[in-house]
C-alpha cells in the first residue's frame, strides 16, 4: 500500500517536472521567434535606408541577406534551415504591411 502511494507520488512529480520543462521550452522558442521577427523588421528598415531599392523590393538580395544576418545572430539555436524559412516568412509578412 505504502509503496503504491510512493510510486504514484513519484510518477506525479515526474509528470509535473516534464510539463514544466515543456512549458519552458515552448516559451524560449516563442521568445526566439519574437526576437527574430523584431530583428528582421530592423534589418528591413536599415536596408531601406542604405539601399532604397532594397527597401522597396523586400525580396531583393541585399535586404534578404541583411535580414538573414540579423535573424541568425538573434536565433542561433533555431536550426539554419528553419531560420531561412522563418526569415522568408517574416520578410514576406512585412512586405505586405507598410511600416
Q: Would the pLDDT of 62 be above 80?
A: no
Task: Identify the three-state secondary structure at position 77.
Answer: coil
The per-residue pLDDT for 30 is 75
Distance CA 15, CA 34 (A): 29
Tens digit of pLDDT for each residue in 12-58?
Answer: 888 888 877 777 777 767 777 777 777 777 776 665 555 544 444 55
Contacts of 58 (CB under 8 A, 6+ apart): 44, 64, 91, 92, 94, 95
The answer to whether the beta carbons of residues 94 and 58 sit under 8 Å apart is yes
Cell, residue 35 = 526576437
- pTM of the shown model: 0.31
Distance CA 19, CA 43 (A): 36
Amino acid at each position: 500500500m505504502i509503496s503504491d502511494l510512493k510510486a504514484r507520488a513519484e510518477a506525479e512529480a515526474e509528470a509535473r517536472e516534464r510539463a514544466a520543462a515543456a512549458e519552458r521550452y515552448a516559451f524560449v522558442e516563442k521568445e526566439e521567434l519574437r526576437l527574430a521577427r523584431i530583428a528582421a523588421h530592423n534589418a528591413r528598415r536599415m536596408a531601406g535606408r542604405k539601399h532604397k531599392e532594397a527597401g522597396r523590393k523586400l525580396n531583393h538580395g541585399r535586404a534578404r541577406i541583411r535580414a538573414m544576418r540579423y535573424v541568425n545572430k538573434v536565433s542561433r539555436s533555431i536550426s539554419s534551415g528553419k531560420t531561412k524559412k522563418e526569415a522568408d516568412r517574416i520578410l514576406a509578412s512585412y512586405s505586405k504591411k507598410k511600416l
